[in-house]
Amino acid sequence: MGNAPPSSTPRHVAVIMDGNGRWAESRGLPRKAGHRAGAESVREVVDACLDLGIEFLTLYAFSSENWNRPEKEIDALMKLLEQFLKTKGQEFGKKNVRLRTIGRTQMLPDSCRDQLEKVKADTAKNTALTVILALSYGSREEITDAAQRIAQKVAIGQLAPEDISRETVSAHLDTADFPDPDLLIRTSGELRLSNFLLWQLSYAEFFISPKNWPDFHKSDFREAIEDYSRRHRRFGRV
């Protein structure tokens, strides 16, 4: 996957892209305008990751709880997602970016899911950066699904209960193919995880930006990486 970044640079960055709706409402615009503006911030952050040699970028794009939003907003988000995949899919190909997903993507509309699978297939061999979209994703649901898969193996004798380890759990999560995030960025000043990567973020560093996601640009991302590089990660050690 290319040269590993220096130790002062995170290998994997996860982002909770918060504040699209508030950005739009503060400007007297419909909420969907904020989501559309947020897509430009995605482009900037992807480019920043490529510049810095970061290998993995996970974006919390649509949570399992987001299905509870008004139907009109959900429809707008799904249309925006489909358009994003059509345009960014081509860009990802040119920039050697691979697209992967986590979450219950079977709940997405057929047209979105078809476009998603097309971009994943088209970019499967790209190596510069892996962008992981968390779609219809909730960490508690993910852990529950993993527990069920492990229990099924125990029930049929493929796995003994005493052999279940942290590694076993990790191997049954949606993120089994990826390293845990080193850094979590959350925008809009919010100080909660919102059911995002609860297992995987156990030892991640956090960076909270007061800016709404559409106002979060490449320079802000670089600031977060610079802040990370000054920290001493002990992982429970002295």
Q: Which runs of consecutive H residues, i.e. helices, occur in 53-136?
A: 71-95, 110-122
Query: Alpha-carbon distance 181 to 199, whole Å?
Result: 10
Query: Alpha-carbon distance 136 to 146, whole Å?
Result: 16
Classify residue 105: in a domain, yes or no.
yes
Q: How many C-beta atoms lie closer than 10 Å to residue 66's C-beta?
A: 16
Classify residue 94: in a domain, yes or no.
yes
Classify residue 45: in a domain, yes or no.
yes
Classify residue 232: in a domain, yes or no.
no
8 Å CB contact between 42 and 85: no
CATH code, domain carrying 81: 3.40.1180.10
Per-residue pLDDT reduced to its tens digit, 12-67 = 999 999 999 999 999 999 988 999 999 999 999 999 999 999 999 999 999 999 99
Q: What is the pTM of this model?
A: 0.93
Please identify every stretch of the chain with a pLDDT value under 50, giving residue numbers as ranges.
1-6
Classify residue 203: in a domain, yes or no.
yes
**The total number of structural domains that make up the chain:** 1
Classify residue 39: in a domain, yes or no.
yes
- Length reported for the chain: 238
The three-class DSSP label of residue 202 is: coil
Report, as residue numbers or ranges, the catalytic residues. 18, 66
Domain enclosing residue 22, as ranges: 12-138+180-226
Nearest to 182 by CA among 4, 29, 11, 31: 11
Q: What's the pLDDT score for residue 16? A: 98
Q: What's the pLDDT score for residue 2? A: 41
